[in-house]
Amino acid sequence: MTRGVVFDLDGTLIDSLPDIAAAANALLADHGLEPLPQKQIGSFVGMGERVFLDRLIAATALNAGDYDALMGEFITHYKASTGLTTVFPGVLEAVQALKAEGYKLGICTNKPGGPLAAVLDAIDLAKWFDVIIAGDTLSVRKPDPAPLHLAFERMGATRGVYVGDSDVDAETAQRAGVAFAFFTEGIRTKPIEDIPHDRAFDRFQDLPAICEDILRPL
């Protein structure tokens, strides 16, 4: 039996909101607009770059008629914004412990491939993962379960856990029929009790034991 653990990225493995906010505010500055607070920008995150830009336009005086150009500008800023991103405490130790126990590890994120590659390179994180599914790997994105199914399929995992920080991740796990371990210190916009989960944790040191408990032999 091959066991797998798949992680969301932003707000789960990495604290990237400062860089996401910097990219969004750089776009606003390009158009002579005032910056938005980081917390407000955090409420735009989770459904991929198109929904993010839709929400940014709705909250500002950006011109929706320039959508394609705005997207190109935003992605350019997004790929360049990596200097403020950090790995959450305990992540590397948890990942190493899981690998030592024989788990296959993956990432399944709605972050598009260009910015994803840039940030993973900046923080040297990709080397720990067997599979990485970007937001544009398929034509659909979370909470559609297909990207998560693909991650487990490519790992050859017959049982697994999905680790995320948001209601989008919780819905993805539910629709995929996969146990959900909920990291409560990420970019969530809903109360913990309103996000369905099998286990919740606020310290990555606890994750290996959680996975062992969820995936104990039947």
Q: In terms of DSSP bridges, do strands 131-133 and 86-87 run parallel, antiparallel, or are they unpaired?
A: unpaired
Q: Is the bond preceding 143 in cis, omega lying within 30 degrees of 0?
A: yes
Tokens representing 101 are 């126990």
Identify the helix (H) or strand (E) that includes residue 45. none
C-alpha–C-alpha distance, residues 116 and 190, integer Å: 25
Amino acid at 193: E
Find the catalytic residue in 8, 19, 165, 169. Answer: 8
Helix 113-123 to helix 67-80 angle, to the nearest 10 degrees?
10
C-alpha–C-alpha distance, residues 8 and 74, integer Å: 22
CB atoms within 10 A of CB 84: 13
Identify the helix (H) or strand (E) that includes residue 7. strand 3-7
Q: Is 206 noted as a catalytic residue in this protein?
A: no
- The angle at the Cα of 35, spanning 31 to 36, to the nearest 5 degrees, equals 125
Catalytic residues: 8
